[in-house]
Amino acid sequence: MKSVSELGDLRGKRVVIRCDFNVPLDGQTITDDGRIRAALPTLTELRDAGARVAVMAHLGRPKGEANPKYSLAPVAARLSELLGTEVKLAADVVGDSAKQTVDSLADGEIALLENVRYEPAEESKDEAERAELAAKYAAFGDVFVSDGFGVVHRKQASVYDVAKLLPSAAGTLVKKETDILATLTKDPARPFVVVLGGAKVADKLNVIDNLLKIADTLVIGGGMLFTFLKAQGFEIGNSIVDESNVETCKRYLDEAAAAGKQIILPVDVRVADGADFAAKTPQGDVEVVAADAIPAGKAGLDIGPESEKLFADAIRGAKTVFWNGPMGVFEIEEFSNGTKAVAQALTEVDGLSVVGGGDSAAAVRDLGFADEAFGHISTGGGASLEYLEGKELPGLTVLEEDK
- Give the residue numbers annotated as catalytic, written as ranges: 35, 200, 358, 382
Q: Which is nearer to ligand 3PG, 58 or 298 (CB)?
A: 58
Least separation in angstroms between CB 382 and Mg ion: 4
Least separation in angstroms between CB 207 and Mg ion: 14
Stretch that binds Mg ion, among 4-12, 46-54, 195-203, 376-384 (CB under 5 A): 376-384
Q: Which does 20 bind (CB under 5 to 8 A by kind): Mg ion, ligand 3PG, none?
A: ligand 3PG
Q: Which is nearer to Mg ion, 52 or 154 (CB)?
A: 154
Question: Burial code of 297-307, b = ≥16 C-beta within 10 A, e = fewer?
Answer: ebbbbbbbeeb
Which one of residues 221, 304, 382, 395 is an interface residue with Mg ion (CB under 5 A)?
382
Q: Which does 34 bind (CB under 5 to 8 A by kind): ligand 3PG, Mg ion, none?
A: none
CA distance 258 to 117: 46
Q: Which is nearer to ligand 3PG, 61 or 280 (CB)?
A: 61
Residue of this chain nearest to ligand 3PG (CB atom): 22
Total binding residues for Mg ion by CB under 5 A?
A: 1
Choose among 349, 353, 347: nearest CA to 321: 353
Q: Which does 52 bind (CB under 5 to 8 A by kind): ligand 3PG, Mg ion, none?
A: none
Cβ neighbours of residue 105 under 8 Å, at least 6 residues apart? 14, 52, 53, 54, 111
Beta strands in 226-383 (DSSP E): 262-264, 268-272, 274-276, 281-283, 287-290, 299-303, 320-324, 352-355, 376-377
Cβ neighbours of residue 68 under 8 Å, at least 6 residues apart? none
Stretch that binds Mg ion, among 50-58, 68-76, 134-142, 374-382 (CB under 5 A): 374-382
Write the CA distances from 14 to 39, 175, 211, 326, 331, integer angstroms. Answer: 18, 21, 41, 41, 43
Q: Which is nearer to Mg ion, 237 or 382 (CB)?
A: 382
* Count of C-beta atoms within a 10 Å radius of residue 316: 17
What residue ranges bind ligand 3PG (CB under 6 A)?
Answer: 20, 22, 61, 150-151, 154, 358, 381-382
Q: Which is nearer to Mg ion, 198 or 304 (CB)?
A: 198
Beta carbons of 358 and 329 less than 8 angstroms apart = no
Cross-sheet strand order for the sheet of 287-290: 287-290, 268-272, 299-303
Round to the nearest angstrom and report the end-to-end CA distance of the chain. 11
Least separation in angstroms between CB 358 and ligand 3PG: 5
Q: Which does 304 bind (CB under 5 to 8 A by kind): Mg ion, ligand 3PG, none?
A: none
Which residues would be at the binding site for Mg ion (CB under 5 A)?
382
